[in-house]
């Protein structure tokens, strides 16, 4: 046995280059699979946040019998809605809402999305009445239909 072999014969600690490359390849494959799914999951969470904020609007509009004057219809959270104190707008959620008079029948219209999401949602509802534009005829129904979907600006 040579001097070199004696020196390193009992000192075999650490990883070989093959083992290290194998571990890096496995981590790369897992990241390749996991990161796109994680991004889709985040988008679904952001969309759910926007839908939740619009659901609060649905309840607030159902409890109101008079139209609300929206001086600035386009708002971005986080804070409470200026016209509906109980409606909290989450961070990153953009809402455009307006109220108008249709010959004595007051309608409420709101579109909302999250800036990190992929889907926008829309409410068209008469104040506290049945929604004539809804497929089910339910009052203040949130409409989610590919025709009405929009991407957050």
Domain hosting 81: range is: 15-143
Does residue 150 sit within a domain?
no
Q: How many structural domains does the chain have?
A: 1
Asked if residue 75 belongs to a domain, the reply is yes
pLDDT of residue 147: 45
pTM beyond 0.85, yes or no: no
pLDDT tens-place string over residues 83-120: 777 788 888 888 877 776 666 666 777 778 888 888 88
Q: What letters, b where the CB count within 10 A reaches 16 and e where it falls short, cover 91-103?
A: ebbbbbbebeeee
CB atoms closer than 10 angstroms to residue 107: 19
Asked whether 84 and 97 are in contact (CB, 8 A), the reply is no
């Amino acid at each position: 046995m040579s001097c070199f072999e004696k020196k390193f014969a009992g000192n075999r600690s650490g990883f070989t280059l093959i083992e290290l490359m194998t571990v890096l390849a496995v981590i790369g494959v897992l990241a390749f699979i996991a990161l796109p799914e994680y991004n889709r999951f985040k988008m679904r969470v952001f969309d759910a946040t926007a839908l939740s904020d619009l659901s609060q609007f649905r309840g607030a509009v159902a409890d109101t019998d008079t139209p609300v004057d929206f001086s600035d219809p386009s708002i971005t959270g986080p804070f409470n809605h200026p016209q509906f104190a109980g409606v909290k707008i989450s961070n990153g959620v953009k809402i455009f809402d307006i109220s108008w008079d249709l010959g004595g029948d007051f309608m409420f219209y709101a579109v909302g999305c999250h800036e990190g999401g992929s889907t926008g949602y829309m409410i068209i509802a008469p104040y506290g009445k049945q929604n004539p534009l809804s497929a089910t005829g339910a009052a203040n129904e949130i409409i989610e239909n590919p025709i009405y979907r929009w991407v957050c600006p």
